[in-house]
Amino acid sequence: MGFTSDDFKPIAGRHCQLPHLICPDAVQLLKFHSAFRPREPFSRRIGMPANTNSLAQFWTPGYWFTWLGYLYMRGIVWLPIRWQLALGRLLGRCLRVVLFPRRRIADRNLAVCFPELTDVERKELRNRHFESIGMSVSEMAMGWFGPEEQLRELVTINGIEHLLAALERGRGVILFSAHFTTYEFGFASLKPYTPHLCGMYREQRNEMFNVIMNRGRGRYVDELFPKDSVRAMVRALKNNAVVWYAPDQSYRKKYGALVPFFGVPAMTNTATSRIAAMTGAPVLTYFCRRRDNPLGYVVDIGAPLENFPTDDLQADTARLMAALTDYVRDCPDQYCWIHQRFKGRPPPYPDIYRTEP
């Protein structure tokens, strides 16, 4: 869960960074590097998502912006949900102005993925996307600090029968997901149906934010694995756990391969197929989106993928990316476009973030 440090550029001085936003990951609005305190290793053990460290230790000026973000998130959850989202839209409009490098990345991504749209239509989509980024701060706050009953009332789950049937096999379940701006919102509603809910996290440079993030996610997630911790994931699946897994971002390490995303080759993690083969766990698509009328959220869980995995990692991953592409087209403003999805492609593919697409 989360984005890489490469997704952020310092814009407010050498000691602070603003998000690309965990799109979800709006998380990174709090990601400010302390100038007065060296980075400490994040000491939370695997399987202990709720960090019990006191926030009082983070009193130095380098954490003051994080404190402002934390207090803002704790406060807005007491407002009506429509007010929270309205504030989020306003925040997103401000971010669109401030985060020019991220706005440029979004423009590049949208030009490549939606060539059928006019320039005006893509600009409108990009503006709505930044509003969704701002709203993701409110949605993240609700997911981490909001009343559990209200969270569940706002979420409709389609396809829960697929998850329950997959769990009966006793081999665990891989929920193939992606970085939508809404993804922090669905776990409260998912948890009652899972014996053991797991996910992967990405340690942030800001130690205070690590504590806040894992406390918030620990409300509903039983176990968090460090990113790329395949052994821990396999162990959990063998104990019939449900694992939320979002391998949709640019991936240039081992098992990375060029796979079409919106029909355009992009470096992609092919590990989902390999892990499914190792464990026998069924793979189900799991996506979450916001709806406006009536206001609420929809979690869509697909049926277990048939004839998956195969011996062809790239073909399996292409199938997953095709399913993701279809869902993104239904709510394009809610997918994270400020991540450099097409970064790191080998020659002869151009670097679209340095040249015109």
pTM: 0.85
What pLDDT, on a 0 to 100 scale, did the predictor assign at position 41? 39
- Quote the tokens at residue 201: 């996290």
Structural domain of 23: 5-334
Residue recorded with tokens 């997704």: 7
What pLDDT, on a 0 to 100 scale, did the predictor assign at position 243? 97
Percent of the chain with pLDDT over 70: 85
pLDDT mean across residues, the chain: 87
Mind listing the pLDDT tens digit for each residue in 8-18?
Answer: 333 333 333 33
Residue 344 lies in a domain: no
Mind listing the pLDDT tens digit for each residue in 117-143?
Answer: 999 999 999 999 999 999 999 999 999
Angle, CA of 154, 289 and 124, to the nearest 5°: 125
Non-local (6+) Cβ contacts of 106 within 8 A are: 126, 129, 130, 337, 338
On the CB side of 323, how many CA atoms lie within 13 Å of its CA? 21
Residue 354 lies in a domain: no
Residue 339 lies in a domain: no
Angle, CA of 78, 216 and 105, to the nearest 5°: 95
Mind listing the pLDDT tens digit for each residue in 192-250?
Answer: 999 999 998 888 889 999 999 989 999 999 999 887 788 999 999 999 999 999 999 99
Residue 350 lies in a domain: no
Residue 356 lies in a domain: no
Angle, CA of 342, 346 and 350, to the nearest 5°: 60
What pLDDT, on a 0 to 100 scale, did the predictor assign at position 201? 81
Residue 348 lies in a domain: no
Task: Please provide residue 51's backbone torsions phi and psi, each rounded to the nearest 5 degrees.
Answer: -75, 130
What pLDDT, on a 0 to 100 scale, did the predictor assign at position 39? 39
Residue 114 lies in a domain: yes
Taking the C-alpha atoms of 330, 194, 79 and 49 in order, what is their torsion angle to the nearest 10 degrees?
Answer: -110
**What's the structural domain count of the chain?**
1
Residue 132 lies in a domain: yes
Mind listing the pLDDT tens digit for each residue in 299-317?
Answer: 999 999 999 999 999 999 9
Whole-angstrom distance, CA of residue 192 vs CA of residue 98: 40
